Amino acid sequence: MKRTEAELHARGEALFTADYLPEGTLFAAVFASPEAHGEVSHLDTGAARSQAGVVAVLTAKDIPGENQIGNLIQDEPLLATREVHYVGQPIALVVAKSEALARRALAAIHVVIQSRPAVFEPREAFKRGNLIGPVRTFVLGDVDRIWPRCEVMVEGRVDTGAQEHVYMETQNALAIPREDGGLKVFSSTQAPSMGQRLIARVLGCAMHQIEVEVPRLGGAFGGKEEQATPWAALAALAAHRLQKPVKLALRRREDLRMTGKRHPYSSDFKMGLSKEGQILAYEAHYYQNAGATADLSTAVLERSLFHATGSYFIPNVRIQGACCRTNLPSNTACRGFGAPQATFVMEAALFRAAQVLKVDPAALQRKNLLREGDPFPYGMRVENCRAEACWEESVRRYELSALEERIARFNAEHGLEKKGIARLPLCFGISFTSTFLNQASALVHVYTDGSVSVSTGAIEVGQGVKAKIQAVAARTFSIAPERIKVENTTTTRIANASPTAASTAADLNGHATRLACLTIAKRLQETAARLLSCDRPEAIGIIDEMVYLDGVRTDLRWEQLIAQTYLDRIGLSAHAHYATPQIYFDRNQEKGRPFAYHVFGTAIVEVTLDGLRGTYRFDSIKVTHDAGASLHPAIDRGQVEGGAVQGLGWLTLEEILSDDQGRLLTDTLTDYKIPDLYFAPEVHVHFLEQAENPEGLFHSKAIGEPPFLYGIAGYFALLKAMQHFRPEVKMDFAAPLTPEKVLMALYAEA
């Protein structure tokens, strides 16, 4: 099956929010705080207002409802009033007849801000008590009782950096007033229902007055979950005040400066092992750099805690995490959602332990892999565990011992270049950790010609969810995929949708689609039974668009069946709702069954390091991935390839730098380097065979976020290569490990 939108994208014909431009549209530009923390003592927009082409300059005073767009925690004004908390915080909105005129007027706004001390580091924020939500602690067994019995102990600190989402399409929205005083809003968002709810809050109107439609997204990666809302709400505010269509689109530099990133974490770990390498106890403290507002930080931290022990069983665990409020743009969801940060800390601890034990880290990884029935610190036990299966399949398929020999030979023969190799066993829990979000609905229409329209809350962000939903409907009806159109998401057709996030969109919305199709299929069986004079509708089947009776093919075809069902005045539409069964989590006990299932896998990364220059090239990533029975292997392969390379980028190339005033320095894509085709290694992807997932849709598994974690192996492969040059090289676990940092470490004084 082809991607549903492949041809449109290849021809450049796919329409995005920015392509919609009704006549008379006005353009908005955002005036943002130049200070990281301070009090606004004076704001003068008069000069900007009187510039040619400017229609209005809006401030918080123009908000008819609540000046509040915080979702989980209500700590985020749409427009700043008295205080500002980060450089880039919106203060005012200029609306003009063109984008250029709107931006030009920004310079005429005069603001005076009394600076206050700002905090940028999470440990500093923690010391001052600047926390969002409670400090969370997950406990298994009793670490304090076990420490004295550990024969090997390691401790250390780990820092991981921010990561920009770099969706190709920057944040943008278009709001159009309607005859009834409501608004239609086109928004580039992963979360149209949340946008609808928050726009209604800002405008002080009922949710039914606001329709949010999402054509498709040019990438999101979590950056358009909460952080699409401000721009949609600002466009909505202006359209509401001026009763004209208003477009707001951030330019790349504005987007880089004003929006949040992956959360940087600073962490401490302590690990105790037996001298045989069994991990007996593990303790970690995460200081999460949340930025200025809560956004999704508490949920991201929670996922870190869930993934603290990676793909390993550890009998005694104590994990603590704090969301630390700083004066940076609020950090937010980013593919992996806290799991990569926690998994990296775990792998760093193991790497350090392997150094002390003088063994290959892979030996420790293998020894401690999760086995069926092992408990996680959050209470759930691992079911259908494939950690060892993926590991062993990798060893076989990628001929690991030959690979290691080849690398050893290379290193013996080369003085200026050294290779390193490392592995990452993956374990990633699937479900929103906020249990209530694990629901979805679908609306399916069959038209009288036999063609089908499917609407769900799943947003096409480029991940191919439409193709998966199409596959689900085609399989359920047993008709050609070409008959099925998957519609854009709009809040009038699908209400109260959860965001397209947590890797769950195809799972949840696919399940709902299947249920809606089954409802219609049941009615079709009844029609067919009548037509075939059979009193047992259950004896009717549809296979490849033909009706079967008791397994025997009849002459009745799909189109005829549909036409007759309509003539019989039977409904050809259905709406269905799905909620993931049997999941819950008790935040008082910090125990429960938060995930429907886990995704497993193993990656092997090989890197070649140039010891004169500190530059490196990732040669290959070899993956064995547990996709269940994949709904769409081509799409899943693409997600593994893209995720793994994005993970490598996070830990190596991608460095976000701010100055001491909290101003972003890496605010162009020439300063901020992301992986490109030249950087990308060969990616080999093998899907584990016979891997049906009993909990999954058609026995499949979610795919979006887990493969990002494979990039973690790249970091440790690089450390290994550095050790081959200089065995005593100082290893402080601080990502990203850019070529500069590699070079400095290789030549640092001992």
Q: Which residues are catalytic?
A: 705
Cβ at position 332, least distance to ligand MOS in Å: 8
CB 736 within 8 A of CB 651: yes
- Contact segment (CB under 6 A) with ligand MOS among 15-23, 123-131, 334-342, 566-574 equals 334-342
Cβ at position 750, least distance to ligand MOS in Å: 41
CB-based contacts of 503, cutoff 8 Å, min separation 6: 428, 430, 702, 703, 704, 705, 706
Residue 284 or 333 having the CB closest to ligand MOS: 333
Does residue 334 interact with ligand MOS by CB under 6 A? yes
φ/ψ region of 277 (left if φ > 0, alpha if ψ in -120 to 50, else beta) reads left
Tokens 């067994």 found at:
141
Edge-to-edge strand list for the sheet holding 83-84: 83-84, 38-44, 110-115
Does residue 92 interact with ligand MOS by CB under 6 A? no
Question: Hey, which residues between 224 and 243 contact ligand MOS (CB under 6 A)?
Answer: 225
Does residue 708 interact with ligand MOS by CB under 6 A? no
Phi, psi dihedral angles at 275 (to 5 degrees) = -70, -15
- Contact segment (CB under 6 A) with ligand MOS among 329-337, 471-479, 669-677, 724-732 equals 329-337
Does residue 335 interact with ligand MOS by CB under 6 A? yes
Query: Which residues, in sequence order, are bridge partners of residue 606?
Result: 421, 620
Does residue 213 interact with ligand MOS by CB under 6 A? no
CB-based contacts of 737, cutoff 8 Å, min separation 6: 651, 652, 715, 718, 719
381 SS3 class: strand
Does residue 191 interact with ligand MOS by CB under 6 A? no
277-309 burial code (b ≥16 CB/10 A, e <16): bbbbbbbbbbbbbbbbbbbbbbbbbbbbbbbbb
Cβ at position 335, least distance to ligand MOS in Å: 5
Does residue 184 interact with ligand MOS by CB under 6 A? no
Residue 216 or 335 having the CB closest to ligand MOS: 335
Residue 58: both structure tokens together: 């809006």
Cβ at position 32, least distance to ligand MOS in Å: 24
- Contact segment (CB under 6 A) with ligand MOS among 96-104, 280-288, 332-340, 594-602 equals 332-340
Residue 18 CB neighbour total at 10 angstroms? 17
Edge-to-edge strand list for the sheet holding 573-579: 484-486, 452-456, 439-446, 573-579
Does residue 337 interact with ligand MOS by CB under 6 A? yes
Cβ at position 611, least distance to ligand MOS in Å: 36
Cβ at position 338, least distance to ligand MOS in Å: 9
Cβ at position 583, least distance to ligand MOS in Å: 16
Residue 225 or 254 having the CB closest to ligand MOS: 225
Cβ at position 120, least distance to ligand MOS in Å: 23
Cβ at position 333, least distance to ligand MOS in Å: 4
DSSP 76: -
Spatial distance between the Cα atoms of 518 and 549, rounded to a whole number of angstroms = 18
- Contact segment (CB under 6 A) with ligand MOS among 73-81, 330-338, 396-404, 562-570 equals 330-338
Does residue 165 interact with ligand MOS by CB under 6 A? no
Residue 102 or 426 having the CB closest to ligand MOS: 426
Q: What is the 3-state secondary structure (H, E, C) of 185-225?
A: EEECCCCHHHHHHHHHHHHCCCHHHEEEEECCCCCCCCCCC
Cβ at position 78, least distance to ligand MOS in Å: 21
Residue 512: both structure tokens together: 């709902």
Tokens 């490598």 found at:
648
Does residue 465 interact with ligand MOS by CB under 6 A? no
CB 90 within 8 A of CB 234: yes
- Contact segment (CB under 6 A) with ligand MOS among 73-81, 274-282, 333-341, 481-489 equals 333-341
Question: Hey, which residues between 488 and 547 contact ligand MOS (CB under 6 A)?
Answer: 501-502
- Contact segment (CB under 6 A) with ligand MOS among 227-235, 331-339, 383-391, 579-587 equals 331-339
Does residue 272 interact with ligand MOS by CB under 6 A? no
Residue 35 or 76 having the CB closest to ligand MOS: 76
Phi, psi dihedral angles at 345 (to 5 degrees) = -60, -45
Among 26, 333, 380, 395, binds ligand MOS (CB under 6 A): 333
Among 187, 190, 196, 259, binds ligand MOS (CB under 6 A): 190
Residue 503 or 652 having the CB closest to ligand MOS: 503
Residue 559: both structure tokens together: 């189109």
Does residue 222 interact with ligand MOS by CB under 6 A? yes
459 SS3 class: coil
Handedness of CA 187, 188, 194, 195 (dihedral sign): negative
Residue 279 or 333 having the CB closest to ligand MOS: 333
Nearest to 441 by CA among 596, 573, 571, 575: 575
529 SS3 class: helix
The residue at minimum Cβ distance from ligand MOS is 222
Cβ at position 297, least distance to ligand MOS in Å: 12
Does residue 32 interact with ligand MOS by CB under 6 A? no
Cα of first residue to Cα of last residue in the chain, in angstroms, is 57
Spatial distance between the Cα atoms of 731 and 744, rounded to a whole number of angstroms = 12
Residue 225 or 667 having the CB closest to ligand MOS: 225
Spatial distance between the Cα atoms of 518 and 481, rounded to a whole number of angstroms = 16
Residue 217 or 333 having the CB closest to ligand MOS: 333
**Total residues at the site for ligand MOS (CB under 6 A)?**
9
CB 569 within 8 A of CB 523: no
378-409 burial code (b ≥16 CB/10 A, e <16): bbbebebbbbbbbbebbbeebebeebeeebee
Question: Hey, which residues between 565 and 584 contact ligand MOS (CB under 6 A)?
Answer: none
Spatial distance between the Cα atoms of 420 and 610, rounded to a whole number of angstroms = 11
Query: Counting Cβ atoms within 10 Å, is residue 740 exposed (0-12), middle (13-18) or buried (19+)?
Result: exposed
- Contact segment (CB under 6 A) with ligand MOS among 34-42, 194-202, 313-321, 328-336 equals 328-336
Does residue 595 interact with ligand MOS by CB under 6 A? no
Question: Hey, which residues between 359 and 378 contact ligand MOS (CB under 6 A)?
Answer: none
Cβ at position 501, least distance to ligand MOS in Å: 3
Give the residues lining the site for ligand MOS (CB under 6 A): 190, 222, 225, 333-335, 337, 501-502
